[in-house]
């Protein structure tokens, strides 16, 4: 017997329609690429998204054409999210920090039919255009006044001209909820980038799930500033979840340095933000150096790579900001787990609570997790056993765009299909998952694993260390030995021996790094994470002290 409930598709266009109807006067503020501040509301955004949908139809963009974007976090990018997906096409957000050859590969692989780009990327698009035979329309996300003279981009169109020519009389089509709405490429360490293709259904469910109180806890009383780019897994879904909840949205444009974020947060009364640890390092350094306070900021979502415990302490103790340590990946839309307390944790003392918060947290309903040993068998959730982390759920991918890389899924003992994340983790009896490493970053010494994340977390707890990365260096006897590569805080002094002394006693003896290398800065990936791949390349001629004859700890 079937239930007698309406069968309504879950569609991205319903999110903006909901925001218009129930939160129409709630603001969307942007720091624009042209300079200055732009403010309007969900009602106006919805009207402009409908005009844009008409413009796309006039350009011949149809379902399921792909529309590429090279753009920062701003209101026009927000409109594109809804106009492209809402009309049945697929929004393909491209990371402009990738190498031009990678961008060309991605845009061609996706078969982008149109490319929308911010003013900051005119020179990049001029360079790319000859390599993009499939792109029929180039649209500058600005007005005529900002159109660059003598630009070589073929048939360049202006976003505001397109909108001006259209009416907002557009009815969002009732699409199949399983149809594609967004595409985001993820770069592995080997091979070409792979496309993750989101569906309307998965996107709306992710927006639901990620707004829950034990997830990002979003509401119509929040002012949310995504400090994660809209080209990095859809700014972790915030442009969708903010529309769903009716939160005020503050889009910071291209400037994500500590000073810019601080000024924006204070000016707009931001209560919630989200980003990778490197972004928050910049904000904390700016606050400290200038003895500043945060007056409205309440919750910071930190993910994308492990949040160092020292960062959690600093936010909570010095600035009264609650840290939500979150874990996910492009293939998961991206949210998998968030670290929030259970009732029993509230009775714990501060130190015990920090021990909980260092974990990547519990799954949100909709994501299931398991850990698997080398023999492919599911491991117990006892907080000690660690293995490859597998996930499943309605917003987890079941394969890459165009079948790239083959079938990634693995079956369990019952035949259920799981996506292997490439992370190594423990899960405790309360369901809290903790990542010990990305499997390719694990340091293997004498047949045992050393957690690079744990070494890094302790190193950055040293008052003079700003950022640190632990990597394995080949060793003739032990296979690999760990070293710590560290950046000092501005004006701070610390020696190799000081840092090794700080680590001693905090970790097992055989985990002790063989060396500390100080560098002016660490390399970061296009999404702001420490790039261990580049770091290993940079240190390819490095030799461990024992091998060079120097004294070894």
Interacting residues toward ligand AMP by CB under 6 A: 186, 233, 303-307, 325-330, 334, 360, 421-423, 435, 438, 527
By the 8 A CB rule, do 237 and 228 touch?
no
Q: Which is nearer to ligand AMP, 242 or 326 (CB)?
A: 326
By the 8 A CB rule, do 523 and 531 touch?
yes
542 by Cβ neighbours in 10 Å (0-12 / 13-18 / 19+) ranks as: middle
- Rounded Cα gap, residues 528 and 520, in angstroms: 17
Q: Which is nearer to ligand AMP, 42 or 400 (CB)?
A: 400
For residue 37, give both structure tokens. 């501040």
Q: Which is nearer to ligand AMP, 28 or 323 (CB)?
A: 323
Taking CA atoms, 120 is separated from 99, 140, 148, in Å, by 15, 10, 11
> Closest distance between ligand AMP and the C-beta of residue 397, in Å?
11
Let me know if 449 is a catalytic residue.
yes
Which long-range CB contacts under 8 A does 521-524 form with residues at least 24 apart?
521/487, 522/467, 522/468, 522/469, 522/485, 522/487, 524/278
> Closest distance between ligand AMP and the C-beta of residue 329, in Å?
3
Which of the residues 39, 440, 444, 510 is marked catalytic?
Answer: 444
Let me know if 186 is a catalytic residue.
yes
> Closest distance between ligand AMP and the C-beta of residue 276, in Å?
8
Q: Which is nearer to ligand AMP, 233 or 516 (CB)?
A: 233
- Rounded Cα gap, residues 258 and 268, in angstroms: 15
- Estimate the crossing angle of helix 452-459 against helix 496-503, to 10 degrees: 120
Which of the residues 177, 331, 454, 480 is marked catalytic?
Answer: 331
> Closest distance between ligand AMP and the C-beta of residue 292, in Å?
26
Length of the chain: 553
What are the start-end ranges of the E strands in 339-451? 362-363, 368-372, 386-392, 410-411, 417-427, 433-438, 443-445, 448-450
- Residue 141: count of CB within 10 angstroms of its CB: 27
Which of the residues 26, 32, 69, 186 is marked catalytic?
Answer: 186
- Rounded Cα gap, residues 468 and 485, in angstroms: 6
> Closest distance between ligand AMP and the C-beta of residue 432, in Å?
12
Q: Which is nearer to ligand AMP, 137 or 362 (CB)?
A: 362
> Closest distance between ligand AMP and the C-beta of residue 148, in Å?
32
- Rounded Cα gap, residues 13 and 173, in angstroms: 9
Q: Which is nearer to ligand AMP, 264 or 311 (CB)?
A: 311
Catalytic site positions: 186, 331, 444, 449
């Amino acid at each position: 017997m079937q239930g007698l409930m309406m069968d309504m598709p879950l569609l991205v266009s319903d999110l903006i329609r909901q925001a218009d109807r129930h939160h129409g006067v709630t603001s969307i503020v942007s720091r624009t690429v042209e300079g200055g501040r732009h403010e309007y509301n969900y009602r106006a955004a919805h009207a402009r998204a409908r005009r844009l949908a008409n413009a796309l139809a006039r350009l011949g963009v149809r379902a399921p054409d792909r529309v590429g974007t090279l753009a920062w976090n701003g209101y026009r990018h927000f409109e594109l999210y809804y106009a492209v997906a809402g009309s049945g096409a697929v929004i393909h957000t491209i990371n402009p920090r990738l190498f031009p050859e990678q961008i060309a590969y991605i845009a061609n692989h996706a078969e982008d039919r149109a490319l929308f780009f911010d003013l900051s990327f005119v020179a990049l698009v001029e360079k790319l255009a000859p390599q993009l035979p499939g792109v029929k329309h180039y649209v500058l996300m600005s007005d005529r006044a900002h159109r660059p003279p003598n630009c070589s981009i073929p048939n360049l169109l202006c976003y505001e001209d397109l909108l001006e020519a259209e009416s907002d009389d557009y009815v969002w089509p009732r699409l199949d909820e399983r149809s594609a709405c967004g595409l985001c490429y993820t770069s592995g360490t080997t091979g070409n980038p792979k496309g993750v293709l989101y569906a309307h259904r998965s996107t709306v469910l992710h927006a639901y799930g990620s707004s829950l109180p034990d997830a990002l806890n979003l509401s119509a009383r929040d002012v949310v500033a995504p400090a994660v780019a809209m080209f990095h897994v859809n700014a972790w879904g915030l442009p969708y979840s903010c529309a769903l909840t009716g939160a005020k949205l503050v889009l910071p444009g291209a400037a994500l340095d500590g000073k810019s974020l601080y000024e924006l947060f204070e000016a707009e009364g931001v209560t919630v933000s989200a980003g990778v640890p490197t972004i928050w390092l910049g904000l904390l350094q700016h606050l400290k150096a200038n003895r500043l306070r945060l007056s409205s900021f309440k919750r910071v979502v930190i993910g994308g790579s492990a949040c160092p415990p020292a960062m959690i302490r600093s936010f909570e103790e010095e600035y009264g900001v609650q840290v939500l340590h979150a874990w996910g990946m492009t293939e998961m839309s991206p949210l998998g787990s968030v670290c929030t307390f259970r009732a029993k944790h509230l009775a714990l003392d501060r130190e015990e609570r920090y021990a909980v918060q260092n974990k990547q947290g519990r799954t949100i309903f909709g994501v299931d997790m398991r850990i698997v040993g080398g023999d492919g068998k599911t491991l117990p959730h006892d907080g000690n056993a660690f293995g490859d982390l597998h996930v499943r759920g309605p917003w987890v991918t079941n394969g890459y765009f165009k079948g790239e890389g083959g079938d990634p899924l693995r079956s369990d003992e019952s035949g259920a299909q799981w996506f292997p994340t490439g992370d190594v983790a423990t899960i405790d009896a309360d369901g809290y998952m903790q990542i010990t490493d990305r499997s390719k970053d694990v340091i293997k010494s004498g047949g045992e694993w050393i957690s690079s994340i744990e070494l890094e977390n302790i190193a950055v707890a040293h008052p003079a260390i700003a950022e640190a990365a632990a990597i394995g260096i080949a060793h003739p006897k032990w296979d690999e030995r760990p070293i710590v590569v560290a950046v000092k805080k501005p004006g701070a002094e610390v020696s190799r021996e000081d840092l090794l002394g700080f680590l001693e006693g905090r970790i097992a003896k055989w985990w002790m790094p063989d060396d500390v290398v100080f560098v002016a800065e660490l390399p970061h990936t296009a999404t702001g994470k420490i790039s261990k791949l580049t770091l290993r390349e940079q240190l390819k001629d490095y030799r461990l002290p024992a091998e060079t004859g120097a004294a070894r700890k």
